[in-house]
Chain A
């Protein structure tokens, strides 16, 4: 009996701990979003955790226009989307070629691509800078897109090959007997059946590319070409470190796409982001 009571108490205690963990995860975000609606005077007049007294949307307008958030958003979106298209295309074609097609060096090529998973971006940064400089790509969106695609390949190909290994050969055989050539086979048979793997690659790489700071701060210095992340870094220079409202508004804005995506697709996103670890 006493054992049972003890267990109950510890059970309740642990539930309280879980509740606290959830609060610690959520509250800072909640605080930031509410704080982004505060007027300047509220910061000095009330403690930081106080709720805003009204909805002061001017912060958002400031961030969007004076803080160039509109430009940064457009840039991030373009760089990310273009890179994702190439990453998916390359990872599906290479992944298919090294698992299902028949040629001599497929094992070697697969291993060669896998090497890149461990390469820290910092190690390649200095020569890359020289390459882009020489090629006239410094300060263009292309330098970012090319880097994003190249550095996204290893992990994506790895995930796709893992998926394709368990892909049944019979379906392909049937299609070939029906007269499909290799391109038709890829487009009509393999691609539709790889939806899950492609979604995983998309989710994972979307977060990686959207969050990139190192490449974008190194290869692009023009304000009109900067991404959301680089923009955020230098926000306090633009507004002065005292304008907390505008800083919070811009940070809230930068996480908004994540927030919406995550609310709608949380299951897919969790599966996608953990896929690399679970399959590895």
Chain B
């Protein structure tokens, strides 16, 4: 047994190819980005060491600040929508859904499997106002709410909101199904015992369900966070960052700096920032998990 499982040749054959690939394509570029962030210009073109100049520039860059604010707003709203909304849906399914459980599960999860670009193109047409009203505006005008007909993604005031609605629509099913599963794992007697002790409605949730669901809610939040922090595809497909830069995320700003304006060094600083934001954010969310275990 030991001889078979300690076979050095087999181990290297199993591990080394994947290890090399992963190191070159995933790990090395991250370190490389860090290295690039100390240079200005782009390789082969005015490429020179500039120390922390890029980092200082980042602090006073209005476009960067704008993307950061857009991205943070988006993270906040979409996380609340996906996880909070998903939780509400899960609770409804758990306590009021007696029949058609599987049908509802299948339907609710469905938007999750759709390609982001397809969803973006679909919603672009839902929000459309020119040359014809899209789905939303045509329904609004049909029910007499003409005052609400507006270029949803064509004006800065509603573009980000429209994007957030779209991504909540796509993601909420994922979280509600996960939380629904977790709720079904809580035995009926636990809930029954709580009821007998006088817990009902909100109290039942607060004192019995919430603590039991806590690990799962935190997992959902980490998932939602790491998905939203990377905001790129959906914004690109729906609004292309516009109008102006009302929906331009950090990743999109990085992309345009590095690939459109060819400032590779400066783009790398933004890339590193995204990386750190992603790691720190998840860490912070995970902290809430640990606290509970000391009680």
Chain A residues at the B interface, C-beta cutoff of 8 Å: 11, 14-15, 17-18, 21-22, 24-26, 28-29, 31-32, 35, 43-44, 47-49, 90, 93-94, 96-98, 100-103, 109, 112-113, 115-116, 118-131, 146-147, 149-151, 153-154, 157, 172-173, 176-177, 180-183, 185, 207, 210-211, 213-214, 218, 228-229, 232-233, 235, 242, 244, 247-248, 251, 254-255, 258, 261-262, 266-267, 269-270, 273-274, 276-278, 280
Residues of A within 8 A of B133 (CB): 47-48
Q: Are B30's CB and A118's CB within 8 A?
A: no
Is B76 engaged at the interface, CB distance under 8 Å to the other chain?
no
- Nearest A residue to B103 via CB reads A22
Partner of A124, one of B33, B115, B121: B33
The contact of A18 among B28, B32, B97, B264, by CB within 8 Å, is B97
When the two chains form their complex, are residues B177 and A274 in contact, meaning their CB atoms are under 8 A apart?
A: yes
CB within 8 Å of A: which of B247-285? Answer: 250-251, 254-255, 258-259, 264, 267-268, 271-272, 274-275, 278-279, 282
Which single member of B108, B128, B134, B259 contacts A218 (CB below 8 Å)?
B259
Contacts of B25 in A (CB 8 A): 124, 128, 131, 146-147, 150-151
Interface of B is mostly: helix
- Bound-state CA distance A85–B25 (Å) is 18
Q: How far is the CB of A110 from chain B (nearest CB, A)?
A: 10
A-side contacts of B279, CB under 8 Å = 118
> What's the least CB distance linking A228 to chain B, in Å?
7
Residue of A whose beta carbon sits closest to that of B91: A14
Q: Which B residues are CB-close (under 8 A) to A274?
A: 174, 177-178, 181
The residue of chain A having its C-beta at the shortest distance from the C-beta of B20 within the complex is A150
Once the chains are docked, how many angstroms separate the CA of A14 from the CA of B90?
Answer: 12
- Which of B102, B173, B229 sits near A25, CB closer than 8 Å? B173
Select the stretch in B60-68, B191-199, B218-226 that faces chain A. B218-226
0/1 per residue, B131-163, Cβ < 8 Å to A?
111110111011000000000000000000000
Q: List 18 A-B contacts (CB under 8 A).
A: A11-B96, A18-B93, A18-B96, A22-B107, A44-B131, A101-B6, A113-B18, A120-B274, A123-B275, A126-B264, A150-B24, A150-B25, A153-B18, A157-B18, A213-B116, A258-B113, A258-B114, A274-B174
